[in-house]
Structure 1
Amino acid sequence: MISRRALLRTSVVAVAGAAAPVLAGGSPARATLPGPVRGTTYWRNGLLHLHILDQSLYTVESEAFAATWSPDGSRYVHAAGDKLWSKRTDFRSPVEVGSDTRRFLQPAFTEDGRFVIYQSEGQLRIIAAEGGSILGTVFLTEPHAGTDEYPAVSVTGQVVFDRGVPGGQRDLRQWVSERESRLLIADARQASFSPDGTQLLFVRGKADLTELQIWRARADGTGQAQLTNSTDHGPINMEPAWAPDGATLMYRSNTSPNDPGVVNQLRISGGAASMMTAGSAPSWQPGRRNTVRRVWGADHIATAVAASRYSFADGTAGAVVLSRSDQYYDALGGSALAIRRNAPLLITEPAGLNPAVLAEIRRVLPTSPSARGRVYVLGGPLALPQHIVTALVAAGYEAVRLEGANEYATAVRIADETAPDPILVTVATAHMYYDALAAGAGVGNLDDSTIVFCDGDRLPAETVEYLRRVDPERQILVLVGGWAYRAVEAAVRGGQLPGWPAWEHLLGISLVGVDAEHTAALVAKSFFTSPTVAAVATNANWYDALTGGAMVGRAGGPLLITSPNALHPRPSQYLAEVSASLEEGIVLGGPLALPAALTGLVGDSVTSAGNWDPTETTASSPHPAGASRAAAAPADRYAAFARPTLQRGRIAG
């Protein structure tokens, strides 16, 4: 989740739009991950050559240099002039990662595919792989007199690079934090990790580059052994790239420093090399397979239980959020609360506490006489009658009812419980659920953030009273959807928010799409940085999006909306654009909600065509769905560089 400190860094006034850094070419850095070899790239005569084996594809790109691949092989990044591009081999959804007037070299994906580390003027920098308005950030601020080059990332997250001074020795160093590195191997450069991250290749030789050879070592720098030599392989061997299958490497071989070179292939165990092609800067396309998971049950209540089982092992929830199963009004703010409280969002019939729901509460939420587990009950007795509270108390839980005179007052109570002193406040409509549920997954992913609701294109009195506590100069205002935009505009122009600036000068973020699917995609792009998971729900009902939104938001991913007939172009495009980081696409609800054919469309957007495996989580599945779901996501080692693209500007234009 994004911290309050990181969120505050996003509140940059950007009236004319935010500038993005420019990235330009350079030899690729190495980030080999396990799996089959799906393709290769190399550079020759100013052209980037791509051989994609499973597509029988051979193509070249002009003005492109030094490709490096995402962990699943769905996207590659390359420099072109003053820009860095991210592209797919199916040529869908090219993304301009960044642009600047400076030279940017040697891009390398992080092990999760979320970021690209690169060298710029002798300094390491990092940028979100999905591009957008996130600016490249200094990756290592450690003071030193030399230049840092050739970042490489292992599957375990070990980041190494080489540092040198003009005319002097280059050493391989390991990144420890944004402020610190340590020496790993002296007199070494151009590292490439083995697929399992336990070993690495590096280059060692003369400073004048008249002799360079490839060496091998353990990832901790011990066990160094020379792999190539002048007699068998020539005087200059460099730019090693360890293959994803672990058996071979590609490298560049030159007869002199000015020779354009050839790309050779050599078995890791040694022996004679074989020439592949004339060229340089070789890289492998890995073939890690991703997952498309259907989370569903026999009905909407069972689907909510399945979503809980996806997320929580026994006794690991911090609370439970409970709402009625036949209407969504009181629950619209519940997904953000559930994410912030590390809780599943479950639903039950008002007539009585569903036995399957009570069983799931007992499974995920520990309780005892000295430490009673908390269940938030959304809405008043007309929504969930008192006998449901009585049943929860009888089961040993503390039932905390969050209620108001209507759904807007209830939303304010939920917002106050979620974040009493928010730094970000979102407004969406309660008339339809699409905008609110997509926004709820994003709001819950940010510290100190809340969501309240408008009544179509007007603000109800309860929301007006809440917004009068908000200072748009200090806090970040986000309007999601056209109704919210029109409602806040009318309130400001009509004098309902007297402490606010005039509408023409109001600062904030407006996320208004041409339809609900587009708005949800805008929310995803704005609230999430290169997510590893994303979920798709039907626009035909609210059940799956409500409970699934809380589930995927807790996992750090967005909620997208589509019609049940076909995958809407907006979520399809978003999934393709962030496929470098995605490991799993989630389809919420059963085949009646989203047909089986749509699973394939999601899979081919999440990764390259056919490179995914289907699976499912149901109300009776083992829990959690994966070991990583057993607790809240572990500390993000790149958290200092992850910030949502919430660039404030004048809302009115």
Structure 2
Amino acid sequence: MANTRRLFARAGVVIGTSAALVLGAVLVGAPASAGDAPLLPPVDVVYLNTDPSGTGTANRVVTTRPIGPGVRSELAVRDFALQAVSPDMTLLAGEPRDGGASGRVRVVRPDGAYPVDFGSGAAMRYEAPEFSSSGTRILMTLRDASIGARLYEAPVDAGRPPGPLFFNSGAFCDFDISASKVGLYAFSRVPRSASGECDPSLDPAVMLYNEQSGAVTPVTEPAADGSPVPVRQKQPDISPDGTRIALTVPAPGHMVGFELFDLASRTRTTVPATRYQPDSLDWSPDGRALAYRDSSGGLVGTVDVATGEINNLGSGANPIWRPVPVSPAVVTQVYGSNAITTGVATSRFKFDAAGSASGARKANVAVLTRSDAFYDGLAGAGLAGAKGGPMLLTPKEGLAPAVSAELARILSPGATVYVLGDEGVVSAAVDTQIRALGLTPKRLAGNTVAETGVAIAKELTMAPKEVFVATAAEYYDALAAGAAAGSTPGATVVFSWGDTLPAATANYLRSLDRTKTKVTAVGGPAVVALNSASIRIDATADGRTAPDTARLLAEHSFARPKAAALATMATWQDALTGGALIAGHGPLLLANATSLPVATLDYLIARKGTGLDRLVVVGGTDVVNEHVGRSAGQTVGTYDLYQYVDSPNGDLRVALP
């Protein structure tokens, strides 16, 4: 595979060579050694309701620059008029168009799952939903004959019925609320008429609601004589930082323009580009632009509030949209020319040189195991992850030159290098070579694989909070367990041998205070072995297949991971060093050479839009085909947006959250 950088964006287009020219020269050329990959910056996504019939069945997203206008992806949710998007993009809100009564608000995931409805559409008619600053509540306007209009709120999961956002005397109608990121809200208010309806003769006054203090205050500006007068506007939209309110104002020629009202100075600023007829406004997340719809021409676009520059996103019938930043998922394929150099590549990908500036990614230790036998190294990923270092492979007879160079690069003089297994597993020459580098070797070994596992566990902690038990007769389950242990504070890994629990493991488990330590069985053999030894199992990750067990363990150990690693299950070396790479960030998942196993794919699908947006494929394309990584990126990327980074030798690095 050539040492180049390639970016792929999936939402109707693939960015290839020609797009690289558009996006800039940073996308081409050879990388500097151990440099960071230039990632595609977050793009804004404008959500559109583009159904010309008005039934709300064609909700789409359009990405703005730098990917470019016209990149569209149709939402899975159907029969739904989109009106709001939660701050983290995991929920949508709008009006269901499924044949039921109108006057309802629905909260639903972008894939259409788990819909929650508010209001019956009869006596309680809700409209104009907006998510709270935190995204945990839905704010709505309730309209009926008795109250006119009033703002109501409820948890997004309908954990309790909607109630008034704040209490007033009933003399006002409140509606059209917008939220900032800082707990400040802007909304419109008009008096109620004598008949109880919202007075149509007055333009609504703009009000501010402070979520923290509960205060509701009018927004005013100075009149010619200096006295305060209300700012009046329908559908005011407060900026993300809570400092400005976007307003639509009359412009020459019966047109409409944009103005920004500064809440501190109480002054207005005209957006340079005017002469639109916008029927809605919404801020970009960074506060630099406004999205709008030109009601005279049916065009949707964004306008830079400082320069007036326009980005036309195309036409749409009756669109309702929200600009939200989306960072494309990033898939990085990290590999060397063989298993040993792939291990070195994972270290180069994760750790800076020992002499790097303060704040760099520094390794505290390194862990070494034999490159042609997995037994003694199975718990190594957990040790490396917990201690803060890489897992490296070396031949039995001595340090591979690449490994020796990597140890010298990442470790400060005197740092510990753990050697797993006795001298019959890894020769004494390795210790001598480690000392020659100015480092300190430390053996963790036993007469059996189980004893080595217990020695590693005791090196980590004498009072573990969780112990993962997996068979050492095969490598699949133990590799996933090691990666989980490296990410779980106070966790260790020990071994059964198939369905049998060795004495060393049984004695270790029986020595623990089980009121403070839980035991998790990883895989069917471990379940049988623990049950046969009458040792209580607190949790189980026992799948139908090895990828399924890895999936269950990932669900057990990681509530909302931001990253995950993929490695072949045909061999063990890449998964071992990859487990140490991903430790502290997310789970290790298993892959086939040319496809994703069903269990792995199911796991990724379930995490689309939940924050998992960094994937590392460990091993070259001869081991895990590039298509596998690209498919994984498309699967987790919000609206299928993803970027692929080719990282031979680990030289191109992507930050793991």
User: Shorter-chain TM-score: which interval?
Assistant: 0.5 to 0.7
The residue type equivalent to 1:428 in the other structure is: A
Please list the CA deviations of residues 557-605 of structure 1 after superposition, one character each: whole Å capped at 9, or x if unmatched.
Answer: 2211022132212222322332322333222111221123323322322
Query: Quick one: which of 398, 415, 431 aligns to 1:352?
Result: 398
Give yes or no for the alignment of 1:301 onto 2:340: yes
Shift of 1:403: 1.1
* Structure 2 counterparts to residues 250-265 of structure 1, below 5 A: 250=292
The residue type equivalent to 2:593 in the other structure is: P
Please list the CA deviations of residues 346-373 of structure 1 after superposition, one character each: whole Å capped at 9, or x if unmatched.
Answer: 1100111112101101101111xxxx11
Q: Provide the secondary structure at the position in 1 that maps to 2:552.
A: helix
Q: In structure 2, how many angstroms separate the alpha carbons of the residues matched to 1:401 and 1:432?
A: 23
Shift of 1:620: 6.8
Shift of 1:513: 1.4
Question: Hey, what does 1:427 align to over in structure 2?
Answer: 469
Q: In structure 1, how many angstroms separate the alpha carbons of the residues matched to 2:116 and 2:549?
A: 24
Q: Give yes or no for contact 1:214–1:238 (8 Å, CA) kept in 2.
A: no
Shift of 1:343: 0.4
Q: Give yes or no for contact 1:290–1:607 (8 Å, CA) kept in 2.
A: yes
Please list the CA deviations of residues 515-558 of structure 1 after superposition, one character each: whole Å capped at 9, or x if unmatched.
Answer: 1111112222222233332221111000000001110123x122
Question: Hey, what does 2:193 align to over in structure 1?
Answer: none
CA shift in 2, pair 1:60/1:335, >3 Å: closer
Query: Quick one: which of 426, 429, 433 aligns to 1:391?
Result: 433
Q: Give yes or no for contact 2:48–2:320 (8 Å, CA) kept in 1.
A: no
The residue type equivalent to 1:61 in the other structure is: R
Give yes or no for the alignment of 1:572 onto 2:572: no
Shift of 1:58: 7.9
Give yes or no for the alignment of 1:484 onto 2:493: no
Q: TM-score, normalized by length of structure 1?
A: 0.66
Q: In structure 2, how many angstroms separate the alpha carbons of the residues matched to 1:518 and 1:57?
A: 31
RMSD across aligned positions (CA)? 5.0
Q: Provide the secondary structure at the position in 2 that maps to 1:390.
A: helix
Q: Give yes or no for contact 2:132–2:139 (8 Å, CA) kept in 1.
A: no
Question: Hey, what does 1:202 align to over in structure 2?
Answer: 245
Shift of 1:117: 4.6
* Structure 2 counterparts to residues 494-573 of structure 1, below 5 A: 497=535, 508-554=538-584, 556-573=585-602
Question: Hey, what does 1:339 align to over in structure 2?
Answer: 385
Q: In structure 1, how many angstroms separate the alpha carbons of the residues matched to 2:405 and 2:115?
A: 47
Q: TM-score, normalized by length of structure 2?
A: 0.66
The residue type equivalent to 1:482 in the other structure is: G
* Structure 2 counterparts to residues 280-291 of structure 1, below 5 A: 282-284=321-323, 288-291=327-330
Q: Provide the secondary structure at the position in 2 that maps to 1:351.
A: coil
Give yes or no for the alignment of 1:412 onto 2:457: no
Q: Give yes or no for contact 1:321–1:343 (8 Å, CA) kept in 2.
A: yes
Q: May I ask how many residue pairs the two structures share in their alignment? A: 525
Q: Give yes or no for contact 1:330–1:407 (8 Å, CA) kept in 2.
A: yes
Q: In structure 2, how many angstroms separate the alpha carbons of the residues matched to 1:587 and 1:523?
A: 19
Question: Hey, what does 1:451 align to over in structure 2?
Answer: 493
Q: In structure 1, how many angstroms separate the alpha carbons of the residues matched to 2:426 and 2:420?
A: 8
Q: Provide the secondary structure at the position in 1 that maps to 2:110.
A: strand
The residue type equivalent to 2:48 in the other structure is: T
Give yes or no for the alignment of 1:619 onto 2:655: no
The percent identity for this pair of structures is 26
Q: In structure 1, how many angstroms separate the alpha carbons of the residues matched to 2:217 and 2:454?
A: 54
Give yes or no for the alignment of 1:322 onto 2:322: no
Give yes or no for the alignment of 1:599 onto 2:629: yes
Please list the CA deviations of residues 91-114 of structure 1 after superposition, one character each: whole Å capped at 9, or x if unmatched.
Answer: xxx66499999999744899xxxx
The residue type equivalent to 2:109 in the other structure is: S
Q: Give yes or no for contact 2:343–2:393 (8 Å, CA) kept in 1.
A: yes
Please list the CA deviations of residues 168-226 of structure 1 after superposition, one character each: whole Å capped at 9, or x if unmatched.
Answer: 9854769xxxx999999978975454xxx9x9763579xxxxxxx976489x9789645
Highest CA radius of gyration, 1 or 2? Answer: 2
Q: Provide the secondary structure at the position in 2 that maps to 1:467.
A: helix
Q: Provide the secondary structure at the position in 2 that maps to 1:240.
A: strand
CA shift in 2, pair 1:101/1:428, >3 Å: farther
Q: In structure 2, how many angstroms separate the alpha carbons of the residues matched to 1:400 and 1:601?
A: 41
Q: Provide the secondary structure at the position in 1 that maps to 2:511.
A: coil
CA shift in 2, pair 1:394/1:612, >3 Å: same
Q: Give yes or no for contact 2:276–2:294 (8 Å, CA) kept in 1.
A: no
Q: In structure 2, how many angstroms separate the alpha carbons of the residues matched to 1:109 and 1:558?
A: 30
Shift of 1:413: 1.2
Give yes or no for the alignment of 1:62 onto 2:105: no
Q: In structure 1, how many angstroms separate the alpha carbons of the residues matched to 2:406 and 2:434?
A: 12
Q: Provide the secondary structure at the position in 2 that maps to 1:87.
A: coil
Q: In structure 2, how many angstroms separate the alpha carbons of the residues matched to 1:273 and 1:363?
A: 48
The residue type equivalent to 1:86 in the other structure is: R
Unaligned residue ranges in structure 2 (runs of 5+): 1-40, 62-69, 97-103, 121-125, 141-151, 160-165, 169-173, 191-204, 221-230, 249-256, 355-361
Q: Give yes or no for contact 1:295–1:588 (8 Å, CA) kept in 2.
A: yes
Q: Give yes or no for contact 1:247–1:267 (8 Å, CA) kept in 2.
A: yes
Unaligned residue ranges in structure 1 (runs of 5+): 1-32, 89-93, 111-115, 128-134, 137-143, 154-158, 206-212, 254-261, 501-505, 634-653
CA shift in 2, pair 1:233/1:417, >3 Å: same
* Structure 2 counterparts to residues 214-225 of structure 1, below 5 A: 216=260, 225=268
Shift of 1:68: 2.5
- The structure, 1 or 2, with the larger RCO (C-alpha pairs under 8 Å, 6+ apart) is 1
Please list the CA deviations of residues 359-393 of structure 1 after superposition, one character each: whole Å capped at 9, or x if unmatched.
Answer: 101101111xxxx1111111111111222112212
CA shift in 2, pair 1:221/1:427, >3 Å: farther
CA shift in 2, pair 1:488/1:298, >3 Å: same
Q: In structure 2, how many angstroms separate the alpha carbons of the residues matched to 1:591 and 1:166?
A: 61
